Amino acid sequence: MLSATNRVQSRPMPLLSLNNVSLAYGHHPLLQQVDFQIDKGERVCLVGRNGTGKSTLFRVISRQAEPDEGEVWRKDTLRVAYLEQDVPTDSAQTIYQVVASGLGELGQLLTDYHNAVHHVGEHEVSLDILSDLQHRIEVQDGWNANQKVDSVLSRLELEADKRLIDCSGGMRRRVLLARALVSEPDLLLLDEPTNHMDIAAITWLEEFLLNFKGALIFITHDRTFLSHLATRIVELDRGVLSSFPGSYRQYLSKKEEMLEAESRANARFDKKLSEHEVWIRQGIKARRTRNEGKVRRLEEMRRQARQRISLQGKVNFNLNSSELSGKLVADLRHIHFQYDDNVIINDLSSRIMRGDRIGIIGPNGSGKSTLLRIILGQLSPQSGEVVMGTKLQVAYFDQHRGDLDPDKTVRDNVSEGSDHVMLRGQSRHVISYLRDFLFPPERVESPVKVLSGGERNRLLLAKIFLQPANLMVLDEPTNDLDVDTLELLEELLSDYDGTLLLVSHDRAFLDNVVTSTIAFEGQGEVHEYVGGYEDWLRQSRSREQQKIPDTTKPKPHSSEDTAAKAPARKKLSYKEQRELDELPGVIEKLEQEQADLQQQVSQPEFYQQDKDSIKMTLERVEQLKQTLQSAFERWEYLDNNG
């Protein structure tokens, strides 16, 4: 049996530990005497609100920032690689150059040699230059490092000579990951690694990191990614680190308990402080006999109350109300669109009805944003047509945030110089409105170009939520938002009574918000499925299995035979065609009458009428419901047979 001493010695030595580390910028404390430790093989997710200091903690761990006080202990020869949140701007460097730069000076030598091999014999590259580079690499034992670069490029499926400027956002993240991995780090730091990645790239990254042999600390807003990877969750909240072993669900449960306990403790503290304040303000007799120890305790409690940092406020989302759109929002009829020889959408037909919440998924560059632009009338299909419904008011969230003027202030982007905005028919001061989106008064005069990614997303949401809209079009709204804000946005959209079109790579967000999914599945194939991401995954797998031919069954008739046996499609008569043309107007009038009656029924004075009037109105409401249903069925029948 092992002794206590032997059991202690058998524990693995940590790779890194922080002891009483503090760091503040000005008067704003980001880290307050935090303790932290990570062991080999751990996968730790660092969570917390935007701006709490998560990236600052990464900078301390990677030696890019020094703490104000405390100790950072690192294992001898510890190799740390840090993948930062920002994707690099356009660069003419090749992927090989970027990846090799992870090896420092040796990486530059390898890059020079790689380029020289491709240009040997040309006037600027002689055999002498190539020989000199070979010698310098051999002196530093650099050929092993060259093999590491080639190995990482192969594992991550990267083209060595492709320029970074020609890569998508997701591919650039993969290149930066390769640069981090080439040094064979013991500890890998990833700051929002899934930003700008499509779902296929994110699932690939999950599998890759599950097989990573070193330790991992990552920051993410992607709850599915978090749940699949994390072995422990560490939260940074008001300068304090708290560790939560176990799953994300367990963390949420424990966190709720902690917040309730903190709220009760703060209430007891505030009550006691109030009692002391009353006592100190009593009359002359009480002041003559007061206990000096009690006075000192009161002064200490006042100091604690001043130093207590309250929980950061939550975003308060509200949408401007709008009148209902028509029942039909958009009718897509045999849409075809391509760029040169690249078919994006091939023969897509779909009908979007009022109240639908549709998710749009697919690889980067597959055509998701193109489909939105076609629906919104910003782009015309090469064939087919889009018939839009009536009374549509559109609010559009552009993933590139093109509606924000980077040179204007936060205030002017929302209110165009006015001190007030209108929300739900009420005037609100713009500073008060922006505070709901976590912009403090001193931040509203900042130009947009100095805002972080999360702040820009919140600002764009603040701007479009002021627009009365019954059709909300959101193109990648979740990038850079923290989990708390995402969950509040989910609640808002789930209660939204208009129509929603949502492009997103956030699987949990899709599952929690949408009721159907349009998926881009390659080579122009676009299909619609009931439910969110997980529902699409299950149905698409079933669809693929059905495509596998069963050789045990007799072969079906040829397409020629089938076509010959199929009944000829009946052409609409003149009367039927006229009926089809008139139906949208008929439906619109019925819907208007229905909306007027529902408005009457919702008023308190409606039920103060006599019973016969009430009964007649309610019967008409039910009759309209059935008539509309029949009209839509008739419209669909005629449209499909026209």
Question: What residue spans in the chain does CATH classification 3.40.50.300 cover?
Answer: 328-546
CB neighbour burial string for 69-101, b if at least 16 within 10 angstroms, e if fewer: ebeeebeeeeebbbbbbebeeeeebbbbbbbbb
Identify the band that residue 520 occupies on the pLDDT scale cut at 50, 70 and 90: very high
Question: What residue spans in the chain does CATH classification 1.10.287.380 cover?
Answer: 574-641
Least-confidence region, from 15-24, 155-164, 187-196, 312-321: 312-321
108-150: pLDDT as tens digits: 788 877 777 666 555 555 566 767 777 777 777 777 777 888 8
Q: What is the reported pLDDT for 386? A: 93
Tell me how many degrees the CA angle 565-566-567 measures, rounded to the nearest 5. Answer: 115
Average pLDDT over residues 89-101: 82
Contact (CB, 8 A) for 279 and 286:
yes
Q: What is the reported pLDDT for 381? A: 93
Distances 331 to 327, 353, 572, 639 between C-alpha atoms, Å: 11, 9, 20, 11
Least-confidence region, from 187-201, 270-284, 333-347: 270-284
Of the chain, the percentage scoring pLDDT greater than 90 comes to 21
454-494: pLDDT as tens digits: 788 888 888 888 888 889 999 888 877 778 788 888 888 88
Is the model's pLDDT at 562 over the cut of 50? no
Q: What is the reported pLDDT for 553? A: 44
d(CA 610, CA 605): 11
Token look-up 């009365």 returns 468
Average pLDDT over residues 301-312: 55
C-alpha closest to that of 15 among 78, 71, 72: 78
Identify the band that residue 225 occupies on the pLDDT scale cut at 50, 70 and 90: very high
Is the model's pLDDT at 278 over the cut of 70? no
Identify the band that residue 69 occupies on the pLDDT scale cut at 50, 70 and 90: very high
The DSSP bridge partners found for residue 485 are none
Q: Where in 112-248 does DSSP place strands (E)?
A: 187-191, 215-219, 232-237, 240-245
Sorted by sequence, the CB contacts under 8 Å of residue 13 that are 6+ apart come out as 75
More confidently predicted of 167 and 608: 167
Task: Compute the CA torsion angle 340, 343, 349, 350 (nearest 10 deg).
Answer: -100
Is the model's pLDDT at 28 over the cut of 80? no
Q: What is the reported pLDDT for 304? A: 57
CATH class of segment(s) 574-641? mainly alpha
Give backbone dihedrals phi and psi of 227, rounded to 5 degrees, phi first.
-65, -35
DSSP class of 190 = E
Sorted by sequence, the CB contacts under 8 Å of residue 493 that are 6+ apart come out as 357, 472, 500, 502, 513
Q: What is the reported pLDDT for 306? A: 54
CB-side exposure of 521: number of CA atoms within 13 Å?
16
Is the model's pLDDT at 638 over the cut of 50? yes
Contact (CB, 8 A) for 113 and 134:
yes
CATH class of segment(s) 328-546? alpha beta
CB-side exposure of 112: number of CA atoms within 13 Å?
19
Q: What is the chain's length?
A: 642
Is the model's pLDDT at 5 over the cut of 50? no
Q: Where in 458-560 does DSSP place strands (E)?
A: 471-475, 499-503, 516-520, 526-530
Name the token pair of 606: 């409606």
Statement: the pTM of the whole predicted model exceeds 0.75: no
Radius of gyration (Cα) for the chain, nearest Å?
31
In what side-by-side order are the strands of the sheet with 69-74? 28-38, 16-25, 69-74
Identify the band that residue 552 occupies on the pLDDT scale cut at 50, 70 and 90: very low
d(CA 170, CA 363): 10
Q: What is the reported pLDDT for 557? A: 44
Q: What is the reported pLDDT for 510? A: 93
Q: Give me the numbers of helices (H) and strands (E) for the chain, helices first please.
A: 22, 20
C-alpha closest to that of 413 among 397, 434, 438, 429: 434
More confidently predicted of 32 and 576: 32
Torsion sign across C-alpha atoms 289, 295, 297, 301: positive
In what side-by-side order are the strands of the sheet with 43-47? 80-83, 187-191, 215-219, 43-47, 232-237, 240-245
Is the model's pLDDT at 157 over the cut of 90? no
